[in-house]
């Protein structure tokens, strides 16, 4: 059973995923497919700034993750929404760092779908939102 605090956190993550118009690849259909038939969820979000912001984001995502269900579940589908400010857009190396960090935590068998968007309010920061499901 989800506590009200966990429900609010999940709703915040879903809000981030649904309301932000992604320039690359992530949409409501991806969210529906991830949630459909799920036996467990893992979700998190973080905002980082500075050197190694992508590696820091990966670590913070995992450290702050909320799990609904058994923590030892196998996570089969991952959605990553990555937003950057126009001053320092997401670089390919950073995308690779984030995906590799998360995949090392959940296993190589997981399907990863990511989206990217620019958010002028982020300046030089990077915001990453994660939603994972176990089926």
- Could you read off the pLDDT tens digit of each residue along the chain, which spans 135 residues? 678 888 888 888 887 887 766 666 678 888 888 888 888 999 999 999 988 999 999 999 989 999 998 877 888 899 999 999 988 999 999 999 999 999 888 878 889 988 898 988 999 999 999 999 997
Q: Select from 3, 130, 135 the least CA-distant residue to 73.
A: 135
Indicate the number of domains in the chain.
1
Burial of 83 (0-12, 13-18, 19+ CB in 10 A): buried
Domain residues for the domain of 90 are 4-134
- Domain CATH code at residue 103: 3.30.1330.20
Q: Please say whether the beta carbons of 57 and 95 come within 8 A.
A: no
């Amino acid at each position: 059973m989800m506590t009200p605090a966990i429900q609010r956190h999940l709703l915040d993550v879903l809000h981030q995923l649904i309301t932000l118009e992604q320039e690359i690849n992530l949409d409501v259909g991806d969210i529906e497919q991830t949630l459909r038939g799920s036996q467990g969820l893992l979700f998190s979000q973080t905002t980082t700034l500075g050197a190694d912001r992508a590696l820091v984001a990966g670590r913070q995502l995992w450290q702050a993750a909320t799990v609904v269900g058994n923590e030892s579940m196998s996570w089969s589908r991952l959605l990553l929404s990555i937003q950057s400010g126009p001053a320092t857009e997401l670089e390919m190396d950073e995308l690779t760092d984030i995906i590799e960090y998360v995949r090392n935590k959940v296993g190589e068998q997981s399907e990863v779908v990511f989206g990217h968007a620019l958010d002028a309010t982020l300046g030089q920061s990077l915001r990453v939102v994660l939603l994972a499901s176990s089926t």
